[in-house]
Amino acid sequence: MTELYVQDLLISGAPLGEQNPLPVFRDPNPNRSVHYQESVPEAKRAFAGFDTGYRVLPYAMQDNYTRQRRPLHFNAVILENDLLKATFLPALGGRLISLEYKPEARELLARNPVFQPANLALRNAWFSGGIEWNLGHYGHALTTASPVFAAEILSATDEPGLRLYDFERCKGLFWQIDFQLPTGSPFLIAYCRVINPSHTDTSIYWWNNTAVEERPDVRVLAPSLDVIYVDFAQAVQSYGYGTMPYLPTTEGRDASYATNFTFASEYFFQCEDVDLPWEAALDGDGKGLIEASTPPVNYRKMFCWGMHAGGRHWQNFLSEPGQAYLEIQSGMTPAQVNGVPLPANGRKEWVQAFGYFAGDPARVHDSDYARACAYVDGVLKQQMTVAHLDALLEAGRAAADSAPARIVAAASGWGALELMRRAADATLPPVPATFAFPASTLTDDQAKWLTLLHDGRFPQQDAAALPGEWLVQPEWLALLDPVANDNWFAHLHAGVMRMEGGDSAGAVAAWEKSIALQPSPWALRNLAVAAVRSGDEPAAQSYYAQAWALADALGVMVPALAVECLQALVAQRKYEAGLALYNALPDAMRDVDRIQVLRGRIALELGDLDTVAEVLTREFAVIREGETETSDLWWEMWARREAAQSGQPLDAALRKAVRARYPLPENINFLMFDEA
């Protein structure tokens, strides 16, 4: 019998802290540059980089956490039958943190024993383990560390299921994942649907990210031997085309075993021509997790951190020693950098199945990789056929528009606000009853927008208050513009909308109007960002100085503004001014990770190497994947010390030599591959 229930989960973790109130604007180029090697077929390059440029608004950055853990309580939603027990955390993006195969008491996922945010997601905060549902924009999802809605649904036989759903605010999408776990099923079934309910074309991104245990005996298999792999050895990261299990980057080592990689790496299985796309991670006993899907989720990926010192530190950094994991992922495109167009009023839907696999270990680990994959394919199809998945897709589609039986976890009020906006616009079709966003979820964050929607005015607030969350949909700008008039707060928000929409001149004009009506740190800071983007660093530094002085006078100094002010001074090489600003900060703000990194850079440039050494002894929480500032500081500190002591010139030869003589301490080694 299948059950759905909620229970308290207690876990040691670092709280996320307050959101960053400053808007972080999208990259002016909506598309990324993607570098392919000649080996990659032209057909695999379709929509390369399309609409994958960095963006995060209207969401706020989640960058105010540390590595100080304490007991945290989460409401876990559990869907369980006689074979599987699936545990979800709606408060953290609906993450499936555990999938237990009950007959063997076997955990099929890498279950992280702690909640430790790290700077890996679009909004910064990300955590490892379980299955993450990355939908919306390129990267770890905007809601990966935020609440989403969860509701009980009923199957055709009245067995309970679980629906995760929300309104994705960045691209204006409605999405749902309907999970079913029928009695006797060894597979958790997920029907997924994304709807673009607007008159405007957009794009979507889907890669669900499954963490499984990493060990020397764990092998990753899929039904295609053709892969696109990432080559980090080139001057610019590039993509090549190869055949498993031996890739040009692995130097004769079998790439189906993640522990054979000496560097962080990833490759993508090209499964679009097989009848049943799947991917599995199986151990020395031939057992583990397998996942299969219907189109358009035709591609699979393997990611690992690598066995070098930096990779091992990342593993420990994200969890605890002994909790190494690798990722098997599934998505819609040949590699993650390919965009997926979604036309106005369009939708995508598919089914995925996650379950337990047990096979002959000798055949799973056959030295002939193609033969091993063919064996797993045959065993899987004895349990999960293409016809079965197609039938599950039809069943999911038939129930997709049904209202949930009951909401078991609520999220933000933005979905409710969007339903109200759409109800006021006769040109828009109704949203299915699937998306139940109760009015009870509305809070002060939505209040001013409700006033605009219903009363045609936008309430002002004190400049000393935080500006609140932002909206960037053009439809809201169309409502805001006619009533802005002499409202400084309306012009502040209109400027954010315009900058995010690509109208930088209109944004600057709006912020200047806002300041003329009522000076605020928020409009001054935004003018500083606009100046940085236009290449006017002196103007940017001036605006930042004014923003900080006003924030100080009003008593609304926030760490994110201090960070940006220090960054502007460093960019202008005004290190003495940077040190003075640092010394004037409140003690608690000085201890912020990013401020300490900047303190290290300022101290280095001022010749205070002892302070650099002191800074580098700390455990940093918010270092970005691929960021090298801490390692750069370490080696430059030693190069300058040696130059001062020996009289050698501070040149490339000395800098290269110190890399070999002074290996990075583990606490600051975030390298994706060894450089020394």
Cβ–Cβ under 8 Å, residues 82 and 183? yes
* Distance between CA atoms of residues 33 and 201, nearest Å: 21
Tokens standing for residue 74: 């989460």
Report CA torsion sign: 18, 19, 20, 21: negative
pLDDT one-digit tens code per residue, 598-631: 999 999 999 999 999 999 999 999 999 888 999 9
Q: What is the mean pLDDT of residues 539-567?
A: 96
The single-letter DSSP state of residue 612 is H
* Distance between CA atoms of residues 498 and 62, nearest Å: 23
* Distance between CA atoms of residues 113 and 193, nearest Å: 31
User: Which residue, chain included where needed, has tokens 């944004």?
Assistant: 507
Cβ–Cβ under 8 Å, residues 195 and 174? yes
Q: What is the mean pLDDT of residues 246-266?
A: 94
The single-letter DSSP state of residue 259 is G
Q: Is the pLDDT of residue 563 over 90?
A: yes
Q: What is the mean pLDDT of residues 5-31?
A: 96
Cis peptide before 296 (omega within 30 of 0): yes
Name every residue whose Cβ is closer than 8 Å to that of residue 531 and which is 6 or more positions away in sequence. Answer: 537, 539, 540, 543
Name every residue whose Cβ is closer than 8 Å to that of residue 132 and which is 6 or more positions away in sequence. Answer: 93, 95, 140, 141, 144, 208, 209, 210
Q: What is the DSSP string of 5-26?
A: EEEEEEEEE----SPP-S--PP
**One-letter amino acid of 430:** P
> Residue 230: enclosing H or E segment and its boundaries?
strand 226-231
pLDDT one-digit tens code per residue, 288-327: 999 999 999 999 999 999 999 999 999 999 999 999 999 9
Coil vs helix vs strand at 673 = coil
Tokens standing for residue 467: 């500006």
**One-letter amino acid of 303:** F
Cβ–Cβ under 8 Å, residues 627 and 640? no
Quote the crossing angle between the two packed helices 444-455 and 474-484, to the nearest 10°.
Answer: 70
* Distance between CA atoms of residues 186 and 354, nearest Å: 8
Q: Is the pLDDT of residue 383 over 90?
A: yes
Measure CA 476 to chain center: 26
* Cβ atoms within 10 Å of 432's Cβ, excluding its own: 16
Cα separations (Å) of 450 from 58, 410, 438, 653? 17, 20, 15, 63
Cα separations (Å) of 282 from 226, 228, 375, 505? 20, 22, 13, 55
Cβ–Cβ under 8 Å, residues 240 and 267? no
- Confidence band, pLDDT 50/70/90 cuts, at residue 102: very high
* Distance between CA atoms of residues 498 and 23, nearest Å: 12
pLDDT score for 626? 83
* Distance between CA atoms of residues 369 and 305, nearest Å: 22
* Cβ atoms within 10 Å of 185's Cβ, excluding its own: 18
- Closest listed residue to residue 223, CA positions, set 386, 426, 20, 69: 386
Which letter, b or e, does each residue of 268-284 get, where b requires 16 or more Cβ atoms within 10 Å of its Cβ?
A: bbbbbeeebbbbbbbbe
pLDDT score for 636? 95
* Distance between CA atoms of residues 508 and 16, nearest Å: 32
pLDDT one-digit tens code per residue, 112-157: 999 999 999 999 999 999 999 999 999 999 999 999 999 999 998 8
* Distance between CA atoms of residues 25 and 53, nearest Å: 11
pLDDT score for 490? 97
pLDDT one-digit tens code per residue, 337-368: 999 999 999 999 999 999 999 999 999 999 99
Please state the pTM of the whole predicted model: 0.96
